[in-house]
């Protein structure tokens, strides 16, 4: 067992975890933040993406013990202006149907916007390649990111 201390959506959390527990299972099980989803559990689908110290990572590939000392933000903690704009744009552009991919998509989309890569469609599609959506055909997701990028950059 390993003692860890993390910040989850701005709140400090301390506990003891088995090393084999993934960050995803800590988030979903122990912390009951079930907005983070598990699709493939081997790094290919992106459903489990969360922010670790401000950048997206695969929570299924990371032992919770390795996140000791880190600040984690899940979909439940995504507020702030950019996230709010993105939520609204996801609604406007029908960027989700079943919602399974959405929390991971939001984590990636926010990162795309923060890195200033949301201004052209080809770049957005390239950067989204690590997030699989089985419903929307991606069109609405790309449109939502493009929309927020145009809204927020002069």
Partner 1 sequence: MKFPAFDYARPAGLDAALDLLAGEAAVLSGGQSLSPMMGFRVARPEKLVDISRLSALRGAALEPDGTLVIGAAVTHAMIEDGALPGPLGGFLARVAGGIAYRAIRNRGTIGGSLCQADPAADWPCVMSLLDAVLVLRRAGGERQVPVRAFLLGHLMTAIEPGELLTVIRIPPQPGARFGMAKSTRKLGEFAEGIAAACLTPGAARVTLGALEVPPATLAVDPALVTGPQPARLTSSPLYAAVDAALKAADATDPAGYRHHLAVLTGCRALIEAAQP
Considering the rule CB under 8 A, would residue 65 count as an interface residue with partner 1? yes
Considering the rule CB under 8 A, would residue 130 count as an interface residue with partner 1? yes
What strands lie across the sheet with 2-8, from one edge to the other? 11-17, 2-8, 71-73, 49-52, 55-58
Q: Is the dihedral of CA 122, 126, 128, 133 positive or negative?
A: positive
Shortest distance in whole angstroms from residue 132 CB to partner 1: 10
Distance CA 74, CA 14 (A): 17
Q: Which span sits near partner 1 by CB under 8 A: 16-24, 74-82, 91-99, 145-153?
A: 16-24
Distance CA 84, CA 133 (A): 21
Report DSSP state, residue 65.
G
Considering the rule CB under 6 A, would residue 99 count as an interface residue with ligand FES? yes
Compute and round to an integer the Cα radius of gyration of the chain.
Answer: 15
Considering the rule CB under 8 A, would residue 140 count as an interface residue with partner 1? no
Shortest distance in whole angstroms from residue 3 CB to ligand FES: 25
Considering the rule CB under 8 A, would residue 142 count as an interface residue with partner 1? no
The contact mask relative to ligand FES for 34-73 (x = CB under 6 A, - = no) is ----xxxx-xxxxxx---------x-x-------------
Q: Under the rule (CB under 6 A), what is the footprint of ligand FAD?
A: 43-44
């Amino acid at each position: 067992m390993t003692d860890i201390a993390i910040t989850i959506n701005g709140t400090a959390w301390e506990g003891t975890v088995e090393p084999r527990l993934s960050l995803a299972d800590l988030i979903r099980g122990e912390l009951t933040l079930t907005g983070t989803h598990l699709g493939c559990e081997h790094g290919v689908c992106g459903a489990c993406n969360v922010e670790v110290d401000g950048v997206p990572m695969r929570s299924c590939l990371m032992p919770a013990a390795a996140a000791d000392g880190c600040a984690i933000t899940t979909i439940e903690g995504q507020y702030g202006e950019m996230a709010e704009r993105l939520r609204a744009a996801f609604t406007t552009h029908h960027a989700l149907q079943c919602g399974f991919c959405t929390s991971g998509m939001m984590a990636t989309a926010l990162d795309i916007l923060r890195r200033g890569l949301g201004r052209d469609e080809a770049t957005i599609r390239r950067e989204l390649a690590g997030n699989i959506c089985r419903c929307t055909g991606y069109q609405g997701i790309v449109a939502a990111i493009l929309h927020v990028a145009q809204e927020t950059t002069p």
